[in-house]
């Protein structure tokens, strides 16, 4: 199903799966039982040291994802390899279905693309709020999903956003470290709360205008409405974000854009940078 080239002398399959990729015990056991790892079509001993340049073949049964495909994929594919897709989610579109009749989400469109190209598995690694547009990482097989999930948890996938906020931040850069929880008085709103979930956002001002400024923001965590809540907490809500006390704009909406994803690709052994600007 895919190939991986050993990049250091002496690495074993066991080392690769357990230590380098840090896969869970269940998936490692399943790969072993399925004899999923071969070299030139022959089974490989998992504890034998391998020479640099050895090409491992991985072949295993991939489950089908449950997303119902749209008639055609209309989301833009910004990057693709055999392990993942990065798509540009449009503003106003949900990342994934929340109900069985919700069939026009980004993942429904992604599944249409996957099936049109002979596949049947796609799972998003993170999510974007419905009102946020931009880059979304999607895994194309379960090993990739497991590794990318861990990378998100360990903050090694750098997610950069752009937003125009009300007022001018006093400092050119900074960090907001403030836990976020649900607003007891509003079903969808979030608030900074000492009893909420840990949340960290880094910001940098890139342009200043009269009454507003444009900031680039990097997420360490991925809480619901995190950037919106943290900017409002600083007293600088995103322009047009009336849920968080910004002034209403002519469009009646706010603009938050996921403009870049950067990570060390676990299968290609290179830095991958994808932009949506």
Catalytic residue ranges: 129
To 5 degrees, how large is the angle CA 32–CA 269–CA 144? 45
CA distance 104 to 94: 8
Phi-psi group of 67: left, alpha or beta (phi > 0 → left; psi -120 to 50 → alpha; rest → beta):
beta
Question: What count of other Cβ atoms lies within 10 Å of the Cβ of residue 141?
Answer: 20
Beta-carbon-side half-sphere exposure of residue 248 (alpha carbons within 13 Å): 3
**Which two structure tokens, joined as six digits, stand for 57?**
């073949």
Do residues 271 and 262 touch, judged by C-beta distance below 8 A? yes
The gap from C-alpha 142 to its chain's centroid, in whole angstroms, comes to 15
User: Rounded CA gap, 163 and 205, in Å?
Assistant: 10
Give the Cα separation of 259 and 227 in Å (integer).
14
The encoded tokens of residue 15 equal: 């080392």
Q: Are 124 and 91 in contact (CB under 8 A)?
A: no
């Amino acid at each position: 199903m895919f190939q991986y080239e050993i990049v250091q002398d002496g690495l074993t399959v066991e080392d690769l799966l357990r230590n380098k990729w840090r896969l869970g015990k269940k998936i490692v056991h399943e790969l072993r039982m399925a004899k999923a790892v071969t070299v030139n079509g022959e089974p490989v001993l998992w504890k034998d040291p391998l020479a640099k340049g050895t090409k491992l073949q991985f072949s295993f049964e991939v489950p089908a994802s449950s997303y119902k495909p749209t008639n055609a994929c209309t989301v833009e594919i910004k990057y693709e390899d055999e392990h993942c897709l990065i798509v540009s989610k449009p503003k106003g579109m949900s990342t994934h279905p929340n109900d069985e009749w919700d069939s026009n989400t980004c993942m429904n469109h992604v599944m249409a693309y996957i099936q049109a190209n002979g596949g049947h598995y796609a799972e998003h690694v993170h999510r974007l709020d419905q009102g946020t547009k931009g880059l979304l990482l999607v895994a194309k097989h379960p090993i990739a999903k497991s590794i990318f999930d861990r990378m998100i948890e360990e903050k090694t996938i750098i997610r950069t956003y752009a937003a125009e906020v009300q007022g001018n931040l006093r400092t050119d850069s900074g960090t907001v470290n403030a836990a976020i929880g649900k607003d007891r008085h509003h079903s969808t709103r979030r608030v900074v709360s000492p009893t909420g979930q840990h949340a960290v956002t880094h910001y940098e001002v890139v342009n200043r205008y009269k009454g507003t400024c444009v900031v680039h923001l990097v997420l360490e965590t991925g809480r619901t409405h995190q950037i919106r809540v943290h900017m409002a907490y600083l007293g600088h809500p995103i322009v047009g974000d009336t849920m968080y006390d910004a002034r209403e704009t002519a469009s009646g909406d706010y603009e938050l854009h996921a403009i870049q994803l950067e990570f060390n690709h676990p299968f290609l052994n290179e830095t991958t940078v994808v932009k949506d600007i």
